[in-house]
Amino acid sequence: MKQGDLVVRKSYGGDVLFKVEAIRTHTAVLKGTDYRLLADAPIPDLSVIRDPETTSAVQQVRIKVNDSLRRMHSERERQAVENEEHIRHALQQSQPFFEVPGKVLHLDGDSNYLKKSMQLYNTMQVPSHGLHVHESQMADVLYRLLPQIQPDIVVITGHDGVLKSRVPMDLYSLSSYKNSQHFVNAVRVAREYERNRDGLIVIAGACQSHFEALLQVGSNFASSPGRILIHALDPVYIAIKASYTSIKDTINLADVIHGTISGIDGVGGIETMGRFRVGLPKPQITASTSVLKQ
């Protein structure tokens, strides 16, 4: 076994596929390939996977991911047709129009997940800016970037988890979590910048994050109500949904949560207005996607 190998844990029934980040004397440091999970495990508990596509864990995740992607593309196609029909009916003629999706600022504690997230924003033509930053620095970075980027939607995510050393059953203390306090601090900064939850949509949290604390300080959507692992792209799916929901409409909570890979135990939220606008006549504009540097 070596760094970079794909492995599963025998004691967990091979439920999550990991990449070996580092080898220590008797343990390996692992990072989930699909789920936002950092872990360590005894080397004898690990099985190397040569062909990950044949494992049931990967196959189940791929099915859910593909379903979410199909749903997003289908919704966008339907929305474009509806907008065109609405304008044609209102003007009694066809008229080229333009769409202005909500702009996303995405802070991520994991560079690999950030890359996947930016690729999906780009595929869905969501204007977005991404930055890889350690969770402990997110509040400071957000304080600097919010006035500069002026986003409609902020995603604050990375790695988190319930600490093994916590007091048993103490799931409602921030000290029981690896990074939830850092996410809470970042959300507070976002709400100091924009108090209106419809003026700035905040999506915060990672695997097993303190859902209640994140909502209390001002998140519109957060993880994880059931303290479960969330898929790396769940926050991105919600951001895209918010970006393409009309400012006249409330984001359908049941629909957006059902559309995530982790489901209602993974993410939750409150009623929120969308950030999508339609304009006339059509100028020459393009959405931009970029990864920022500190």
Q: What is the CATH architecture of 6-54?
A: Roll (2.30)
pTM of the model: 0.88
Kindly give the pairing relationship between strand 6-9 and strand 46-48. Answer: antiparallel
Average pLDDT score, the chain: 89
Q: How far apart are CA 200 and CA 261, in angstroms?
A: 24
Q: How far apart are CA 245 and CA 238, in angstroms?
A: 10
Amino acid, single-letter form, for residue 235? P
> Which residue pairs from 66-72 have beta carbons closer than 8 angstroms and sit at least 24 positions apart in sequence?
68/233, 68/237, 68/259, 68/260, 68/261, 71/259, 72/124, 72/237, 72/240, 72/241, 72/259
Q: Kindly tell me the sign of the dihedral angle through the C-alpha atoms of 281, 284, 290, 292.
A: negative
Q: What is the pLDDT along the chain (294 residues), one digit of tens a residue?
A: 889 999 999 888 888 888 999 998 889 999 888 888 888 899 999 989 888 777 776 777 778 788 888 888 888 888 878 877 877 777 766 777 788 899 999 999 999 999 999 999 999 999 999 999 999 999 999 999 999 999 999 999 999 999 887 666 688 899 999 999 999 999 999 999 999 999 999 999 999 999 999 999 999 999 999 999 999 899 999 999 999 999 999 999 998 998 898 999 999 999 999 999 988 887 765 555 666 666
Q: How far apart are CA 275 and CA 288, in angstroms?
A: 16
**Residue 117 token pair:** 């997230």
Q: What CATH superfamily classification does 59-291 receive?
A: Cobalamin-binding domain (3.40.50.280)
Q: How far apart are CA 241 and CA 90, in angstroms?
A: 26
Q: How far apart are CA 176 and CA 172, in angstroms?
A: 8
Q: How far apart are CA 280 and CA 25, in angstroms?
A: 64
The pLDDT of residue 98: 83
> Domain segments of the chain: what residues?
6-54, 59-291
**Residue 263 token pair:** 């489901």
